[in-house]
């Protein structure tokens, strides 16, 4: 064979290989298009997200970076409620071709707002699992989508707050206030962030705003529940909240029918009661931190005033009840402290300190039998070596005129002190 013939033969081989490669590509593209067409029909026409998902996955096995298959996969996973898989499909689409992905999204009705939900709801799932950095990573796609949404700023702020990046968290919350300055939840979040960062002066304004707007909601809901009475009955309101929180629905239904005059009871008023309980909790939580901010600013009398408000609106909150009692004791208001400490010890019978303060109150208001019962049968059962309680018992028995018992407790206190040295 001549050189010329060999060259011709080699050229034919190269052309043959090229043609074969082109045919292979065309065949693969035809297969991809088949899966793409099936996915389009299933997704847009039939709303059969499972079938659309299957076609997308099959097509992506052939061409992993095919943008339209990736976005259809993301949309299908959204339809199936799989937020993580949906968000990851869109991430892959953006990595393959950001411009083409956005073009496809923009051609859908409210596409950016709709498909960003995959990122937002997956970020919420990550937040609830404590994966705050990952939540922030998915929320960062709001810049790609051009999203300006209160919920995104709140979730990002909450994630940053959990990571103790307080200044960044507040910047996100302030964006919300630019859009909705009367939002009580965001005012509370900003205040809480400042509080946790030790800025007790700075947080007060935001707590005040939160309380003002939570109060509006509380009173509006209260007027609906108490419309058959002259005004909102504070004690009855607390009872309703406690029954709701404890799940005592039969008794709550009876109160609504017999006391508030709603013949249908919970069947009609259930939603109003639930919202009223939430508004009460929002108020109580805000008053609690407002009080603690004043406490940290050494304004204990003011702090007590607001802690009593917290206990009023959060009648089962252990911290509010404890500090309402403890602050009252430190200010010498023993009789006022008793109802809060009594309620606390009913809810938390293992709380040694609550029992101790209750014993102190009974001692100071000269209810000595009650004081003895609390010290001997409650505190010492929880902590048999408590020297302060032993000395208090010696004092109480002396005041009751029982010198023998008083001496016994003094001796036990001295013996216990020697053991602890």
Domain ranges of the chain: 27-115, 125-181
Take residue 197 and report the two structure tokens written for it.
Answer: 């960062």
Q: What pLDDT, on a 0 to 100 scale, did the predictor assign at position 1?
A: 54
CATH of 27-115, one of 1.25.40.10, 3.90.480.20, 3.10.129.10, 1.10.150.130: 1.25.40.10
**Residue range 364-414, pLDDT digits in tens:** 999 999 999 999 999 999 999 999 999 999 999 999 999 999 999 999 999
Does residue 119 contact residue 109 with C-beta atoms inside 8 Å? no
Q: What pLDDT, on a 0 to 100 scale, did the predictor assign at position 37?
A: 93
**Residue range 189-198, pLDDT digits in tens:** 999 989 998 9
CA distance 207 to 288: 10
Q: What pLDDT, on a 0 to 100 scale, did the predictor assign at position 15?
A: 54
CA distance 20 to 27: 10
CA distance 117 to 75: 10
CA distance 195 to 224: 34
Take residue 252 and report the two structure tokens written for it.
Answer: 């709550």
3-state SS, residue 107: coil
Calculate helix-pair angle for 98-106, 67-79, nearest 10 degrees: 50
3-state SS, residue 53: helix
Nearest Cα neighbor of 134 from 59, 80, 83, 73 is: 83
Please name the fold of domain 125-181: 1.25.40
CATH topology identical between 27-115 and 125-181:
yes
Does residue 314 contact residue 345 with C-beta atoms inside 8 Å? no
CA distances from 242 to 8, 121, 236 (A): 95, 33, 10
Contacting residues for 309 by C-beta, under 8 A, at least 6 apart? 283, 284, 287, 291
Return the biggest CA–CA distance within the chain: 134
CA distance 30 to 24: 10
Does residue 328 contact residue 337 with C-beta atoms inside 8 Å? yes
**Per-residue pLDDT at 7 exceeds 90:** no
What is the DSSP annotation of 140-166? TTHHHHT---HHHHHHHHHHHHHTT-H
pTM: 0.78
**Residue range 242-299, pLDDT digits in tens:** 999 999 999 999 999 999 999 999 999 999 999 999 999 999 999 999 999 999 999 9
Strands (E), 136-227: none
């Amino acid at each position: 064979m001549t050189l010329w013939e060999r060259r011709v033969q080699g050229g034919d081989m190269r052309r043959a290989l090229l043609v074969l490669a082109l045919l292979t590509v065309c065949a693969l593209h035809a297969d991809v298009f088949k899966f793409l067409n099936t996915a389009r029909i299933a997704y847009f026409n039939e709303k059969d997200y499972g079938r659309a998902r299957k076609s997308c996955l099959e097509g992506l096995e052939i061409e992993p970076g095919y943008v339209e298959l990736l976005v259809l996969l993301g949309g299908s996973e959204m339809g199936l409620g799989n937020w993580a898989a949906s968000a990851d499909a869109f991430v892959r689409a953006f990595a393959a071709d950001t411009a083409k992905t956005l073009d496809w999204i923009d051609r859908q009705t409210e596409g950016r707002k709709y498909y960003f939900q995959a990122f937002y709801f997956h970020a919420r799932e990550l937040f609830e699992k404590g994966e705050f950095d990952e939540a922030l990573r998915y929320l960062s796609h709001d810049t790609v989508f051009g999203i300006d949404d209160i919920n995104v700023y709140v979730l990002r702020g909450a994630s940053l707050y959990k990571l103790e990046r307080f200044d960044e968290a507040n910047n996100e919350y302030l964006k919300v206030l630019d859009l909705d300055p009367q939002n009580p939840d965001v005012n509370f979040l900003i205040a809480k962030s400042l509080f946790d960062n030790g800025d007790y002066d700075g947080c007060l304004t935001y707590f005040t705003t939160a309380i003002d707007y939570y109060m509006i909601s509380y009173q509006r809901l209260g007027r609906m529940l108490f419309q058959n009475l002259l005004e909102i009955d504070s004690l009855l309101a607390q009872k309703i909240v406690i029954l709701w929180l404890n799940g005592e629905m039969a008794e709550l239904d009876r109160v609504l029918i017999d006391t508030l005059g709603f013949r249908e009871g919970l069947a009609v008023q259930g939603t109003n009661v639930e919202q009223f309980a939430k508004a009460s909790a929002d108020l109580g939580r805000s008053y609690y931190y407002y009080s603690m901010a004043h406490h940290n600013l050494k304004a204990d009398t003011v702090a007590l005033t607001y802690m009593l408000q917290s206990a009023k609106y959060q009648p089962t909150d252990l911290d509010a009840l404890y500090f309402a009692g403890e602050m009252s004791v430190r200010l010498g208001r023993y009789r006022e402290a008793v109802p809060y400490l009594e309620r606390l010890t009913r809810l938390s019978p293992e709380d040694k300190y609550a029992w101790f303060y209750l014993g102190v109150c009974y001692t100071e208001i000269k209810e000595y039998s009650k004081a003895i019962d609390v010290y001997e049968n409650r505190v010492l059962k929880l902590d048999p070596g408590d020297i302060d309680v032993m000395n208090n018992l010696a004092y109480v028995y002396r005041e009751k005129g029982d010198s023998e018992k008083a001496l016994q407790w003094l001796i036990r206190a001295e013996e216990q002190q020697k053991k602890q040295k």
